[in-house]
Structure 1
Amino acid sequence: MADETFYTGSDFYCDVAIPDPGALDVVHEGRRVLAFHHTRPFWDVHIVVIPTRHIASLTTAGPEDEADLRALLSAVQQIARDVEREHGAAAVLTNLGAYQDSKHLHVHVHSGARR
């Protein structure tokens, strides 16, 4: 399984996850979106959903990213629905600026206790 522990770049998703989804515990894989269980989970259930085309963050996305954002939000909605159904609750989160470790738009869907 891919592990971010020793990764030192700025875009784990473009550099590691997208080129080798077979190394991940994939939840959803489509032409525009990849979702997988986080390699270093912060919560009991922790899924990361990313566009497969590089978009730096939610605040840098533009009109040219509309199709990717629609696909991303559709996948987030379905995954959050599944997590909520299975675990009774789900939260959806994205980070921006200094809070964003990997400079690639990604959405966390999580549930349960913080680890």
Structure 2
Amino acid sequence: MNKPCLFCEIVAGRIDADIVYQDDQVTAFHDIHPQAPVHVLVIPNRHIPTMLDLEPEDAPLIGHMHVTAKHLAHELGIADNGYRSIFNCGTAAGQTVWHIHLHIMGGRSMGWPPWPGN
């Protein structure tokens, strides 16, 4: 039997999360292992395991995720100084939950490349 998806359980309200935004397409909540003073995840309410599972018809959803990130960056006070938004795809990229999610991180300077410590 497959283990239920953690993020699908959050969207369904069966697992608590510090939700900062939700609409009919996406849910955004604070990361439980933040890598910056502000670290929020924006996820689609529909299960999509990785970026490799996207279809052309998902383009409006991905755009909506980015527009939601912009609005949240303003609300969370990180827009003016800058923030990082990133998708990880696959194990080597650091994806640990198999439901796509857009990281929004800010509140500190972030170096490049994004190795540990940056």
Post-superposition shift, 1:81?
A: 3.9
Q: Does 1:107 align with 2:109?
A: no
Provide structure 2 residue ranges, at least 5 long, that are not aligned to the other structure.
109-116
1:69 equivalent in structure 2 = 62
Counting aligned pairs with the same residue, the percent is 26
Describe the SS at the equivalent of 2:54: coil
Which structure shows the higher helix fraction?
1
Q: How many residues align?
A: 104
1:11 equivalent in structure 2 = 5
2:111 equivalent in structure 1 = none
CA RMSD of aligned residues (A): 2.4
- Contact 2:86–2:103, Cα closer than 8 Å, also in 1: yes
Describe the SS at the equivalent of 2:37: strand
1:51 equivalent in structure 2 = 44
1:78-113 residue CA offsets vs partner (Å, 9 max, x unmatched):
223444236x22111111111210011101101135
Per the normalisation by structure 1, the TM-score is 0.75
Provide structure 1 residue ranges, at least 5 long, that are not aligned to the other structure.
1-8
1:54-83 residue CA offsets vs partner (Å, 9 max, x unmatched):
112223211232332232122122223444
Q: Does 1:25 align with 2:18?
A: yes
Per the normalisation by structure 2, the TM-score is 0.73
- In our comparison, the structure showing a higher alpha carbon Rg is 2
- Contact 2:50–2:99, Cα closer than 8 Å, also in 1: yes
Q: Does 1:84 align with 2:78?
A: yes
Describe the SS at the equivalent of 1:71: helix
Q: Which runs of 4+ in 1 moved over 6 A?
A: none
Of 16-25 and 100-109, deviating more is 16-25
